Structure 1
Amino acid sequence: MKAPVVQHLIDEFDYNRYMYIPLTIIFQSCLGSIAAMLVLSKGTTLQSGIELFFSVATCMMYNAALLAQFKSKPTFWLLVVSLFVNTLLIIINLI
């Protein structure tokens, strides 16, 4: 039942690709910078370095996919992964 909903989101992302590119770059970059700020606010340890790596790596993978003009489906999933990882890091560091 969830597959048609996801496919609809991917189709919407593909149809309005040039509208979503600047919006998602700004949104996921802001979310990633909030995650990085919260990770670094706890100090510089090995754990915070690993968390910071995942935050920056996921944001950069999405930005690189846009610059390389990947197809819509992998680009959409990289956006989802980036938003999920950064949201998870924000929640972890707020607790």
Structure 2
Amino acid sequence: MSVYKKFYEEFKGGYYMHATLGIIASSCLGSVAALLILNSGSRAIEMVELFWITSVCMGYNAAVLSNLNKSWVFNLLIISVLSSILLTFYHLAVL
């Protein structure tokens, strides 16, 4: 069984608990990434990064609130968390 399927089955089993924790994690990681992006400057590339991180974090929150399919919610959580972590590490390395 792949790691993705293993985590998806766990997510699906305790959906309401994991979706709630996902909202907290996505929002917190997204806000840290947004803070670091804004500290880096206000050029066009930073504004695109800020738009991206805001869109994916809010997209995950909207997916949970609109009760989308569990696989969509799980995939959006992965995209949101990975985007936040990657942009956070990138901007920490640049500082």
Q: Structures share a fold, TM > 0.5?
A: yes
Identity %: 38
- The CA distance in 2 between the partners of 1:92 and 1:72, in whole Å, is 30
Q: Structure 1 stretches (4+) deviating beyond 2 angstroms?
A: none
Of residues 6, 9, 13 in structure 1, which corresponds to 2:7? 9
Partner of 1:58: 56
TM-score normalized with structure 1 length? 0.92
- What displacement does 1:4 show? 2.9
- What displacement does 1:39 show? 0.2
The one-letter code of the counterpart of 1:18 is: Y
User: What is the alpha-carbon root mean square deviation over aligned residues?
Assistant: 1.0
Q: How many residues align?
A: 93
- The CA distance in 2 between the partners of 1:31 and 1:5, in whole Å, is 22
- The CA distance in 1 between the partners of 2:56 and 2:70, in whole Å, is 17
Which blocks of at least 5 consecutive residues in structure 1 are unaligned? Answer: none
Partner of 1:67: 65
Which blocks of at least 5 consecutive residues in structure 2 are unaligned? Answer: none
